[in-house]
Amino acid sequence: MIELDQEQQAARDWFESLRDRICAAFEAIEREAGSDATFDYSPWDRVDADGSPGGGGVRGLMNGRIFEKVGVNVSTVGGRFNPEFAKTILGAEEDPRFFATGISLVAHMANPHVPAVHMNTRFLATSKRWFGGGADLNPPIPVEEDIADFHARLRAACAAHDPTYYPRFSKWADEYFFIPHRGVARGAGGIFYDHLEGYFEQNFAFTRDVGEAFLDIFPKIVRRRMDMPHDDADKARQLEWRGRYAEFNLIYDRGTLFGLKTGGNVDAILMSLPPMATWR
């Protein structure tokens, strides 16, 4: 076990409690659809490069009637970055020791009219401490009502803390969730933020509100679309879109890179990949 200070423990406890409530909300939707699907939880332990305990996490995975594949991961890890990777991390250039705790979620939906979604919030500590995260909607068949409602809920969460947050973080999401080699956005955007440092309580409060906003709005969108009829053309569109989602996560996603570079659980790191996809 790695020892946690008060801030680290508070962040860990919050991410784990959010995981529990999200999983319960998603299982409730499965019950409404007549499915008995539940999350399967797989704990894992991390060993640092020198052989010392490096924390670990729990991978939660569900394959249901509505949620074709949804992963909700929590992890709390610590140790030392390798020298080259340390150069890319805030505050780790001279001292490679780090701590990270967070929640990461990706949901791929059975019905192509229900948007896929990603949400992640995290707290990192090197010689500096900061929060990062965000959420973004990824509809294979975009519906303006869903996109507008998703953005409105995130905008409200941002506005409660700083009027500049939503303009800054939605722009950051548009720039980050972009597939350069395709020249297209990965999805319909949301918010993305990183390196919120210096004021733990304020930044932690904002990060909690991002998680609450996601838990409030996404189940509503799922219930709105999950019973819509769809045909083979809709499914083909979804599978091709999933291929592009996989390309982004394997080539550009920072979370994927961070997990692999720090000795994380490979199955948990790659749970973001869709269960089926096509390339034409």
pLDDT (tens digit per residue) in 24-78: 999 999 999 999 999 999 999 988 777 788 899 999 999 999 999 999 999 999 9
Q: CA-to-CA distance for 24 and 41, rounded, in angstroms?
A: 13
Q: CA-to-CA distance for 135 and 21, rounded, in angstroms?
A: 17
Positive or negative torsion for Cα 240, 241, 244, 248: negative
Q: CA-to-CA distance for 208 and 277, rounded, in angstroms?
A: 33
The catalytic residue among 108, 118, 151, 230 is 118
pLDDT at 152: 98
97-149: pLDDT as tens digits: 999 999 999 999 999 999 999 999 999 999 999 999 999 999 999 999 999 99
184-237: pLDDT as tens digits: 999 999 999 999 999 999 999 999 999 999 999 999 999 999 999 999 999 999
Catalytic residue check, 118: yes
* 248-256 long-range contacts, CB within 8 A, separation 24+: 248/177, 248/179, 248/186, 249/273, 251/181, 252/179, 252/180, 255/104, 255/120
227-271: pLDDT as tens digits: 999 999 999 999 999 999 999 999 999 889 888 888 788 888 899
Q: Which domains does the chain have, with CATH numbers?
A: 6-272 (3.40.1500.10)
pLDDT at 1: 60
111-121: pLDDT as tens digits: 999 999 999 99
Which ranges of 70-189 would DSSP assign to H, the alpha helix?
83-86, 144-159, 165-176
Cβ contacts of 232 within 8 Å, gap of 6 or more: none
